[in-house]
Amino acid sequence: MIMNIFKKIINTIISFIYPQKCLICSKIITVKTHICEKCLNSIKLNLKVNKLEYDTNKFVPCISMFKYAGKVREFIHHFKFRGNKEISNYLVYKISDENIKNITKYDFDYITCVPLSKQRNRLRGYNQSECFARDLGKKIKIPYKDFLIKVLDNPPQHELPAAERIMNVQGVYSVLKISELKDKNILLCDDIMTTGNTLKECVRVLKKYGAKNVVCCTIAYV
Ligand SMILES: [Zn+2]
């Protein structure tokens, strides 16, 4: 009892000296959360399904949750470049039950993600697409598994002109755990879909090594 009161006093003093701030707008927040209500309410789900042609006349659906603009762009920027990996949880939280049905109708065995190179993962400390895939997996109750590995460290797609992006991803990815991939339905996650070239290459590799069906899912689309 006395210890609990003592802990409460210490926590109050700590939160007074180091107040919790919203990861997006830096406003001080009192409740135990990372993002203020105003910021969380300012992003709206805007689901879109694109068709990605990963091979000649072969397509897979790509479900994207938000349009990459305005406040969503800020969320993703903080998530990707400011070390705030908790943001993924808040983005996943916004996905409604109706949207969940749109994803789970495909009956997936595993959820996985587009990998980063070892060097980039070390620099950032985490793979944002993996955080999203794991959080989404928890919400829709699909187990997460690593299947793809990046074997070449290519320049980031967003730094290249569109014409060079197809070539830039070829031969960059390979597969782990081939026996576990065979005949499985895979949900492949990434952060942003721009041209879709990275996702197409990953789908091609997953299919080549035995995946039965692959559907892509990204936080946002450009
Ligand atoms: Zn805020």
Each residue's pLDDT tens digit, 81-136: 999 999 999 999 999 888 888 888 889 999 999 999 888 889 889 999 999 999 99
Q: How far is the CA of 35 from the centre of ligand 1 (A)?
A: 5
CA 92 to ligand 1 center in whole angstroms: 17
pTM: 0.87
Alpha-carbon span 93 to 103, nearest angstrom: 15
Helices (H) and strands (E) in the chain, counts: 10, 7
- 34 CA distance to ligand 1 centroid (A)? 9
Residue 109: which of 220, 201, 217, 215 has the closest Cα?
A: 215
Whole-number pLDDT of residue 131: 97
Alpha-carbon span 213 to 161, nearest angstrom: 30
Angle, helix 128-140 to helix 70-81, in steps of 10 degrees:
110
CA of 5 to the centre of ligand 1 (A): 30
Tell me what pLDDT residue 1 has.
67
Question: Strand 48-55 and strand 213-221: pairing?
Answer: unpaired
Domain ranges for the chain: 1-39, 43-221
What's 32's DSSP letter? Answer: S
43-221 is classed CATH 3.30.70 = no
- C-alpha 56/C-alpha 118 separation (Å) is 31
Pick out the chain residues at pLDDT < 70.
1-2, 10-18
